[in-house]
């Protein structure tokens, strides 16, 4: 079955909801509530804990781990590294969201240390963050991408996937995913001005994507999990923007559509295509 046709994504959602995977999140203070609710709406079971004292019990019990460096400090960084090390021992999949990588030396160093540990299954970042991990700075403004170039993005995911030996997802108007051999683009079939008007006025949306990928990692391989997470968020954000034209109501509608989402809805509004690079 071709990954690009998305015929498999409905089954992945069904298996996720039946399993109710425990997703352990070491994430930032800004989005703890947001991502926990997103995971619950989709059908997963989140736990939000960054305490190093919890790790010996939580990592073995979890179905997947989500590491998000949005409000990073040395204590967080220590817990994250230990969680990744334990995940390797217990063979648990890990998604890393390198929030703000490329914006500060500390964030970039922490993200690279986690990646170099060899325990990351998927890294998901925006244009500036992925380029920052590859050593090109100045593309990140705070925690947001300062620019976006489609051709550079498609090549960057391939190079990052090869460099870090994991699946890499890069978000933007068009998302790109690579496993080091293949590159896929994930995009809406039609544009949406209402979505464009609100999507940059709600914080933590990229963090939701990473959490969704974490949930899918409990039931799919890293490449499919990344594509499923990105495609699911593309679909629910599009459907939410059809019903809510303001940021607050859009945020609430995201949860409603995560609860309602299925494979047919995703295939109707999202397309995935394997592309050539180089």
Residue-wise DSSP of 25-47: EE--TTTHHHHHHHHHHHT-EEE
Protein fold of 9-169+183-275: 3.40.1190
- Given a contact cutoff of 8 angstroms between Cβ atoms, the answer to whether 179 and 167 are in contact is yes
Measured N-to-C along each axis, helices 32-42 and 9-19 cross at an angle, to the nearest 10 degrees, of 100
CA dist., res. 180 & res. 276, Å (int): 12
Domain extents for the chain? 9-169+183-275
List all residues 6 or more positions away from 168 whose beta carbon is below 8 Å from its beta carbon.
122, 123, 124, 130, 157, 160, 161, 177, 178, 226
The pLDDT value recorded for residue 129 is: 95
C-alpha angle with apex 273: 268 to 278, nearest 5 degrees? 160
The pLDDT value recorded for residue 136 is: 83
Is 62 in a helix, a strand, or coil? coil
The pLDDT value recorded for residue 41 is: 98
> DSSP letters of 140-196?
EETTEES---HHHHHHHHHHHHHHHTSEEEEESSSEEEE-SS-EEEEEESS--HHHH
The pLDDT value recorded for residue 148 is: 67
CA dist., res. 151 & res. 270, Å (int): 20
CA torsion, ordered 202, 239, 209, 60, to nearest 10 deg: 120
CA dist., res. 141 & res. 72, Å (int): 16
**For the chain, which ranges sit under pLDDT 50?**
142-145
The pLDDT value recorded for residue 147 is: 64
CA dist., res. 214 & res. 218, Å (int): 7
The pLDDT value recorded for residue 143 is: 47
Assigned token pair, 230: 């990105």
The pLDDT value recorded for residue 140 is: 52
CA dist., res. 223 & res. 106, Å (int): 28
Q: pTM for this one?
A: 0.95
């Amino acid at each position: 079955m071709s990954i690009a046709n998305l015929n498999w994504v409905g089954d992945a959602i069904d298996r996720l909801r039946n399993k109710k995977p425990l997703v352990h999140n070491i994430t930032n203070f800004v989005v703890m509530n947001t991502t926990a609710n997103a995971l619950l709406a989709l059908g997963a079971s989140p736990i939000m804990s960054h305490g190093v004292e919890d790790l010996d019990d939580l990592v073995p019990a979890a179905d997947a781990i989500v590491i998000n460096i949005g409000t990073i400090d040395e204590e967080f960084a220590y817990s994250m590294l230990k969680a990744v090390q334990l995940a390797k021992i217990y063979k648990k999949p890990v998604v890393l969201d390198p929030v703000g990588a490329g914006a500060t030396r500390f964030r970039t160093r922490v993200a690279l240390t986690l990646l170099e540990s060899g325990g990351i299954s998927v890294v998901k970042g925006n244009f500036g963050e992925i380029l920052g991990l590859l050593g090109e700075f100045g593309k990140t403004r705070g925690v947001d991408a300062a620019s976006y170039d489609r051709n550079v993005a498609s090549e960057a995911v391939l190079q990052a996937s090869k460099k870090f030996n994991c699946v890499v997802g890069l978000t933007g108007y068009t998302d790109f995913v690579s496993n080091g051999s293949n590159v896929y683009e994930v995009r809406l079939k039609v544009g949406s001005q209402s979505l464009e008007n609100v999507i940059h006025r709600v914080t933590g949306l990229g963090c939701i994507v990473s959490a969704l990928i974490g949930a899918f990692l409990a039931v799919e391989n890293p490449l499919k999990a990344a594509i499923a997470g990105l495609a699911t968020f593309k679909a629910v954000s599009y459907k939410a923007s059809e019903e809510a034209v303001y940021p607050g109501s859009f945020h609430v509608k995201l949860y409603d559509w995560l609860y309602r989402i299925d494979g047919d809805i995703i295939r109707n509004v999202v397309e995935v295509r394997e592309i050539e690079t180089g």
